[in-house]
Chains A and B, each alone.
Chain A
């Protein structure tokens, strides 16, 4: 089946630093999603990408849909302590419709040292 390789597995950074993480797929995806999960909660959607080459921002977060459609990137600028959590990428081969059988990466655990 489809696989997503997410890296790095974990990051420990100082407050104020920028963060980058990425996901690569063994096959083409037409939808890329980035989620954040806080302890004891479900994942919360941060950014959705639907077009190759698309660059989308949500506050200090910026995500890009790779032009090969096999990768995606998430950047967090000027990290703050509340950025702590697990970040997941997810992808889907379809670009629309109501059936989103997402494939998830294994997550990047982000720790921010105040």
Chain B
């Protein structure tokens, strides 16, 4: 099925560990986005990529890095995870189509 695929679906990290969240879309969209969702906060933009080869900060970029590997893939990296990064992370394509999320817990 066409859409946005995120991996992994669940992850538990210890404080200080690093990990990369993967996202891929097969709709040939130029723009891709990473959001985090916390209870009562709605969705907040972490980083976005308007097109292949470009990335830019969103509302809450601290503690994250991103890579737009090619037109299909946009990854989010936590270099040194902190408990405040416990959240549900969503990748979106063109702003309209969302993946099913990665549920991350940092202990």
Chain A residues close to B by CB (< 8 Å): 1, 4, 6, 33, 40-45, 48, 88, 90, 92, 98-102, 104-107
The answer for the CA separation of A98 and B90 in the assembled complex, in Å, is 18
Chain B, 91-104, contact with A by CB distance < 8 Å: what is the 0/1 string?
01011111111000
Residues of A within 8 A of B2 (CB): none
For A98, list chain B residues within 8 Å (CB): 29-31, 50-51, 94
Report Cα–Cα, A40/B58, bound state, in Å: 24
**Alpha-carbon gap, A89 to B44, bound state (A):** 13
- Interface size class of chain B, counting residues whose CB lies under 8 Å from the partner chain: 20 to 34
Does B19 make an interface contact (CB < 8 A)?
A: no
Interface presence of B40 (CB below 8 A): yes
Which label, helix, strand, loop or mixed, suits the secondary structure of the B interface? loop
Chain A residues with CB below 8 A from B107, complex form: none
Contact with A along B39-67 (1 / 0, CB 8 A): 01111110010110000001100000000
In addition to A98-B31, A99-B48, 5 A-B residue pairs with Cβ atoms within 8 Å of each other are A6-B42, A33-B95, A43-B43, A48-B96, A101-B33
From the candidates B40, B92, B97, B100, name the one contacting A41 in the complex (CB within 8 A).
B100
Q: How far is the CB of B27 from chain A (nearest CB, A)?
A: 12
Q: A98-B29, A99-B31 are in contact. Are A42 and B98 (CB under 8 A)?
A: yes
Q: Smallest CB–CB gap between B4 and chain A, Å?
A: 8
Beta-carbon contact of A45 and B40 below 8 Å = no
